[in-house]
Structure 1
Amino acid sequence: MRILRTDEARFAGLPDYPFSPHYLEAEPGLRMHFVDEGPASAAPVLMLHGEPSWSYLYRHMIPTIAEAGYRVLAPDLIGFGKSDKPAALTDYHYDHHLAWLTRWLDTLNLTNITLVCQNWGSLLGLRLAAEHNSRFSRIIVGNGMLPTGESRLPTVFRLWKAFASRSPWFPIGRLIQLGTERTLSPAEIAAYDAPFPTSEYKAGARAFPALIPTSPEEPASVANREAWRVLEKWRKPFITCFSNGDPLTRGGDRYMQRRIPGAFGQPHITLNGGHFLQEDTPDQFARVILDALKAEMAA
């Protein structure tokens, strides 16, 4: 496996991203970066990004949660952000990502976790929570899902999958802008581009769409159905916080609310915005998280 590592200088002076870097090995020779803010002994809030973003996506939410007294952890998935980037598309598999995250989770020995996940962060996070459910206390999903290949995926996803695999032009920052209703500044777009100095650094971002299971026979479909069996018995708090302008995940919130017992009676909310609600409504999204944490303390 040929590993690429983005020069740290590319991350200098990013707007609204003052966080100190932290690293551990997801496997020997493969370094994973994560943000770790707030009291080290406090209850952890794990924020998982998706495609093709990185922990920069949560920059407006991390300080709010940390200042409220919680430990906020936001890893960069392997292939993204400040984490190392295997150079070949074939280096990326659903199970590899889960193994890398599991190694990170076990090394830090996190418990009583509040999971916040979106996009591919949900595909990985929901599996992670199902397979290590004793470590997790609640789940908050924004514009995400756990597909099993049994339902037809929307046309917009099939177009995105074809674009990611075939287009010679793959501008990360501009793609984030397409999924965001507010206008990002040139500096913000450049920040999303920062991890990827050349096209060969983008293998992880290009690989993700093809890893989503599209038929029930795929190995990931089988494992995801097993995860759903756990989620269908999940009685810990499960909250959906979707946006009203995301064609990729529309309806997924209601589907999960019907199937997951822990979703019953929870304060589910729909926010204004596009696919990346962390960019469009970060304050409101952070408030949902804090309200869920405070509800537990009141109980």
Structure 2
Amino acid sequence: MAIQADNMLPAALREQWPYPPRFASVNGWRMHYIDEGEGDPVVLLHGNPTWGFLYRDIIGPLVESGRRVIVPDMIGFGLSEKPVREQAHTLDGHSANLTALMRQLDLSKITLVCHDWGGPTGLSFAMSNKGRIRALTLMSTWAWPLPPAEFHTRIFPWRMMHAPLVGPYFLGRHKALAGRGVYLSVVDREKFARTAQAAYEAVLPDPATRLLTWVWPRWIPLDQDARAFERFKWLEQELSRSKFPTMIIWGREDEVFDAVTFSNRFKQVIPHAEGPHLVTGRHFLQEDSGPEIADLIRSFLDRLDKRQVAQ
């Protein structure tokens, strides 16, 4: 059983999201995505509890710069189908869903932009499909087993909020993450509440649709016995061997993955990475600095194009 959410976006917000919806069947689920522009593809990946709307200020500038921009909603979020069984939401399952979409679209020369859970999901795809990847951009995410972040080791709110009974109650019934969670993780909260918050709440309208907001975080490894420990260990090893051009962008005020600790950790794993470029933003930095992020990605890709021509 699953829930579909084709027409949940409030009319007042549709002007900010004018893109024709597209749908693909991935591993038996109905995935929503947008596909705009022409040129080498840039794939923008969101995390928990957001969806493609997070990138609304980034899509247009990239399309205008001559890029094809693809923004999928992870299964369980946005306008994609929402399985109501916890077993449908494994880390490998979400990576497999993304892989299925990328293969259906037969994409190559992909620039993968990863944020939050879009990091482990997207990078797992990238490290398993290296022939399809051109470059990487990393924002407020991680790709190693331990430690995830000090934030995730706290009894309150993190471990308590994702306990078997407390998680469904607060994150499901009372939409603690889908409602207040994003709001608290932006800098300009007044603007966010006025222009964007409804778009995140509308696509997760009831406890059943919010299942992934409390299930997915349970895949963050907190010790060596965690079920995803080996997956993250493999991911870090593969990423450390990769030679893909990489750019790091981070929010100065990020309270989940602090800018200094986590951007430096990525620099250790990927020494050739450009950055970090620091912008205004907490964890959901796209809400505060979308146009600046778009310009950084555009400039990064322009330099790669020039380098390719020179070769």
> Does the alignment reach a TM-score above 0.5?
yes
Distance, in Å, in 2 between the alignment partners of 1:187 and 1:292 is 29
Residues 1:136 and 1:208: Cα distance change in structure 2 (over 3 Å): same
Q: Shift in Å at residue 162 of structure 1?
A: 2.7
Q: Secondary structure at the match of 1:56?
A: helix
Aligned pair partner of 2:122 in 122, 125, 141: 125
Q: Shift in Å at residue 283 of structure 1?
A: 1.2
Q: Secondary structure at the match of 1:60?
A: helix
Q: Do structure 1's residue 253 and structure 2's residue 252 form an aligned pair?
A: no
- TM-score, normalised to structure 1, is 0.92
Query: Is the Cα–Cα contact under 8 Å of residues 50 and 119 in structure 1 kept in the other structure?
Result: yes
Distance, in Å, in 2 between the alignment partners of 1:161 and 1:16 is 35
Q: Secondary structure at the match of 1:138?
A: strand
Of 8-17 and 174-183, the range deviating more from structure 2: 8-17
- Match in the other structure for 2:207: 199
> Number of aligned pairs?
292
Residues 1:157 and 1:49: Cα distance change in structure 2 (over 3 Å): farther
Of 56-65 and 266-275, the range deviating more from structure 2: 266-275
Q: C-alpha deviations, 1:156-190, integer Å up to 9, x for none?
A: 56423532552242241322111101121345211
User: After TM superposition, where is structure 1 displaced by more than 6 Å over at least 4 residues in a row?
Assistant: none
Distance, in Å, in 1 between the alignment partners of 2:186 and 2:235 is 30
Q: Shift in Å at residue 230 of structure 1?
A: 1.7
Aligned pair partner of 1:155 in 151, 158, 164: 151
Instruction: Could you tell me which runs of 5 or more consecutive residues in structure 1 were left unpaired when the two chains were aligned.
Output: none
- Match in the other structure for 2:51: 54
Query: Is the Cα–Cα contact under 8 Å of residues 44 and 113 in structure 2 kept in the other structure?
Result: yes
Q: Shift in Å at residue 123 of structure 1?
A: 1.6
- TM-score, normalised to structure 2, is 0.88
For 1:58-137, list aligned pairs within 5 A.
Answer: 58-137=55-134
Distance, in Å, in 2 between the alignment partners of 1:68 and 1:249 is 30
- Match in the other structure for 1:170: 175
The percent of aligned pairs where both chains have the same amino acid is: 28
Q: Do structure 1's residue 33 and structure 2's residue 38 form an aligned pair?
A: no
Residues 1:7 and 1:267: Cα distance change in structure 2 (over 3 Å): closer
- Match in the other structure for 1:21: 21
Q: C-alpha deviations, 1:49-89, integer Å up to 9, x for none?
A: 01110000001100110111100111000000000000123
Q: Shift in Å at residue 276 of structure 1?
A: 0.6
Q: C-alpha deviations, 1:139-166, integer Å up to 9, x for none?
A: 1111111131x32631356423532552
Q: Secondary structure at the match of 1:66?
A: helix
Distance, in Å, in 2 between the alignment partners of 1:297 and 1:20 is 29
Query: Is the Cα–Cα contact under 8 Å of residues 61 and 294 in structure 2 kept in the other structure?
Result: yes
